[in-house]
Amino acid sequence: MRKICVVTGYRSDYTKLKSVIESIHSNPNLELQLLVFGVHLLEDYGTSINNVVTETAPISYRCDTTIEGDSPLAMVKTIGVSIIELSSAYNQLDPDIVILVGDRYEILAAAIAASIGNIPVAHIQGGEVSGTIDETIRHTVTKLSHVHFPSTELSKERILMMGENPEHVFNVGCPAVDYIKDVQYVTKDKINKLPGLSRLRIDFQKPYFILIQHPVTTEYEQASQQMTLTLEALQDIGVQTVLIYPNPDAGSGEMVRAIRKHRRKYGKNGVIRNAYKNISFDSYLNLLKNSSCLVGNSSSGIREAHLFGIPVVNIGTRQSNRERTDNIVDVDHGHTAIKSALLSALHNNNCFRDSEIYGNGTAAQQIAHILEYIDLDNIFQKMSFQQKT
């Protein structure tokens, strides 16, 4: 039986992996090894490992790897610790292949530890283009990987241009789409009955926004100002808002301080009605489906909001150049620009069409099938394949 080690380090990659975990776990010819590390274990960020424990298969191994801090130095040290701890985990689990998703710095560590340890790596969502350091990390993970599961045809073409073996590159779509299409959605009056949302203070008879804004690691010194501009624009609009705290990247501490300052400044008159460190994916999707707009710079605005026809105000450079649907409005970090886009979103809610740019909801099944049958003999010996012109 082939052993597949699925590695998840944070809530954002876990949402992409849930359907993959389920498909592998249900395949009688595959043995699932679930390795959880990184921010999943941090209480300050919602201890999201609890979601993994209750929602998916049993955890095979967990690693405490995160150096807490609000600087690039902490991120670099976390990569170093993660390589050490993950290499020990791989040595004990002895997987036939490791599967990773995305472009976070924790995932770079997971790819290095596996690839240098002579374990084949399968990478989901390679070949995409965006801004900041994520761009460098994503393409580095691609070159460290041996099997590729891009989410779009254009991403597949980019991976092939990087010299990867065409026989090992499969455009399967985004696995998050699979899960979104299968979720059981509730009516608005039952949303506060969902896990983690019992204290939700939203009036569902009125519009509400969701704010998810992360620091841009190459602009981390501007993180506080960027968050403040967004919060003040939201305050001017006056629409009730649910905030989800930012990733623990360089600049996150300054963002959190800006959020706290804003809430002290406006008190009960503030538009931020609830702030969450972590929400289960099912609960989040129900919130998103019924919202009037997703604001910030989360990849959720790129991949998930269009499935519900929800407008997205995407701020800044973090998602620059990603393939996107017509529900997304891109603005810079300017009060007037953000405010104008938010007002527009209120008048254009739920008027966008669903798109299959990120797949048709069968990605996880395809991934499990490919991992079951792909020939792993000699796959580790990579070579550069020249593109035909």
Answer yes or no: do 66 and 6 share one domain.
Answer: yes
Mean pLDDT for the stretch of residues 87-115: 95
Give the model's pLDDT for residue 234. 97
Answer yes or no: do 215 and 71 share one domain.
Answer: no
φ and ψ of 236, to 5 deg? -65, -35
Domain limits at 100?
Answer: 2-174+359-373
Instruction: Tell me the CA distances in angstroms from 296 to 211, 213, 309, one per residue in order.
Output: 6, 4, 17
Answer yes or no: do 133 and 264 share one domain.
Answer: no
Q: Which of 93, 111, 113, 90 is nearest to 102 (CA)?
A: 111
CB 92 within 8 A of CB 61: yes
The C-alpha atoms of residue 344 and residue 134 are separated, in whole angstroms, by 30
pLDDT tens profile 305-338: 988 989 999 999 988 888 888 899 999 999 999 9
How many domains would you assign to the chain?
2
CATH of the domain at 118: 3.40.50.2000
**Structural domain contains residue 354:** no
Answer yes or no: do 204 and 299 share one domain.
Answer: yes
Q: Write down the pTM of the prediction.
A: 0.85
Give the model's pLDDT for residue 389. 47
Answer yes or no: do 333 and 235 share one domain.
Answer: yes
**Structural domain contains residue 165:** yes
pLDDT higher than 50, residue 203: yes
